[in-house]
Amino acid sequence: MQDLKGKVAYITGGSKGIGYGVAQKLVAAGMKVAISGRTLKTVENAAQYLGDSKCVLALESDVTKLGDEKIAIKNILDKWGQVDVVLANAGVGHFAAVDELSEEQWHQMVNTNLNGVFHTLKASVEALKKSKGYYITLASLAGANFFATGAGYNATKFGVVGFTQAAMLDLRKYDVKVSTIMPGSVATFFNNHEPSEKDAWKIQPEDIGKLVLDLLKMHPRTLPSKIEVRPTRPDKK
Ligand SMILES: NC(=O)c1ccc[n+]([C@@H]2O[C@H](COP(=O)([O-])OP(=O)(O)OC[C@H]3O[C@@H](n4cnc5c(N)ncnc54)[C@H](OP(=O)(O)O)[C@@H]3O)[C@@H](O)[C@H]2O)c1
């Protein structure tokens, strides 16, 4: 996919944070980009800063619902006729010792971070086979390294890494590329964080955007299937 001009991308959870940062880079590269989130107003507010309606589409879709994701993909196909890139990025995190983690927090993480990436794939896979496209999940270094208070989040992100690697083996025979990106700390709104200048040491959302562009431009014969990415120098506490 070396010429990205006119290619169509769908980014779940593109209203802010990493998804929004990736959308900015893809639009700047000449792509048509649909972004989604749970409330249309929030997504529309974000979309207006990305570009006009010729190249940006705002969608309300809750990834915990397969039906929502199917409608999102249908809307993209109705507008642009193809889907070349899907970034399953929407995610939430609750951090508490396992004996204190609530059932609601557990289910929200599993339904969003794990069931969500399956729903997004299920809804888009036939379109991706047609376009010989690219499906990318946003996992985390928490998908390789477990930590105290991370039981729920770790469980979902280890799951996303395993899911994505197996999906890669299933889909490469259709020339569909599949990768997972596993970032360390990124300066976003994750877990009610407010990004500030104190986050300068962290990966910035646009850095993940640049990484996605590099993946898309990779030679068709080569597939970096699992990418760990971390701040070069961790925070000095
Ligand atoms: N920030 C980090 O340090 C970090 C590190 C590694 C991995 N990650 C992963 O990166 C991904 C993006 O997180 P972020 O850091 O950019 O967080 P963020 O700033 O909080 O953004 C999260 C995005 O996900 C959307 N979202 C949440 N639940 C959703 C649902 N059920 N359906 C659709 N959209 C939903 C939010 O949109 P609405 O609220 O508008 O619905 C928002 O656009 C997550 O999967 C996260 O686990 C983050």
Tens of pLDDT, residue by residue over 32-90, are: 999 999 999 999 999 999 999 999 999 999 999 999 999 999 999 999 999 999 999 99
Q: What is the pLDDT of residue 121?
A: 98
Q: Which of 12, 20, 24, 38 to mutate to test the pocket of ligand 1 (most atoms within 8 A of CB)?
A: 38
Interior/surface letters 114-128, b for 16+ CB within 10 angstroms, e for the rest: bbbbbbbbebbbebb
Q: Is the pLDDT of residue 2 over 90?
A: no
Mean pLDDT of 164-185: 98
For ligand 1, is residue 131 a contact (CB within 6 Å)?
no
What is the per-residue pLDDT across 178-223, written as a single tens digit (0 to 9) for each? 999 999 999 999 999 999 999 999 999 999 999 999 999 999 999 9
Q: Which atom of ligand 1 is nearest to the CA of 191?
A: 20
Protein residue whose Cα sits closest to atom 7 of ligand 1: 140
Query: What integer pLDDT is reported at residue 150 of this predicted model?
Result: 98
The CATH number that applies at residue 135 is: 3.40.50.720
What are the Cα distances from residue 26, in Å, to 106, 126, 151, 161, 164?
33, 22, 34, 24, 22
Q: What is the pLDDT of residues 128-139, one digit of tens each?
A: 999 999 999 999
- Judged against a pLDDT cut of 80, whether residue 236 lies above it is answered with no
Asked if the structure places residue 30 within a domain, the reply is yes
Which residue's CA is the nearest one to ligand 1's atom 23?
Answer: 13
Is 56 contained in some domain?
Answer: yes
> If you measure from the C-alpha of residue 106 to the centroid of ligand 1, how many angstroms do you get, rounded to a whole number?
16
Residue 59: the pLDDT is: 98
159 CA distance to ligand 1 centroid (A)?
A: 17
**69 three-class SS:** helix
User: What is the domain extent for residue 173?
Assistant: 8-216
Q: Give the nearest ligand 1 atom to 141 CA.
A: 6
Q: What was the pLDDT predicted at 156?
A: 98
Q: Closest Cα to residue 178, out of 186, 169, 187?
A: 169
Query: In the prediction, which pLDDT does 235 show?
Result: 81
Q: Cα angle vertex 186, ends 22, 211, to 5°? A: 40
Distance 173 CA to ligand 1 centre (A): 30
Classify residue 49: in a domain, yes or no: yes
In a domain, 3, yes or no: no
Per-residue confidence band for 15, with pLDDT thresholds at 50, 70 and 90: very high
In a domain? residue 205: yes
Confirm whether 228 is domain-assigned: no
Measure Cα distances from 69 to 18, 74, 111 in Å: 19, 9, 13
Which stretches of the chain are assigned E, i.e. beta strand? Answer: 8-11, 32-37, 56-60, 85-88, 134-138, 177-183, 226-229
Average pLDDT value for the chain: 97
Report DSSP state, residue 52: -
Under the banding of pLDDT at 50, 70 and 90, the label for residue 27 is: very high
Instruction: Give residue 233's pLDDT.
Output: 92
Interval 131-160 mean pLDDT: 98
Mutate to test the pocket of ligand 1, among 11, 18, 25 (most ligand atoms within 8 A of CB): 18
Domain annotation covers residue 224: no
In a domain, 13, yes or no: yes
Check pocket membership of 164 for ligand 1, CB cut-off 6 A: no
Per-residue pLDDT, 237? 60
Number of structural domains in the chain: 1
Q: Is the CB of 95 under 6 A from ligand 1?
A: no
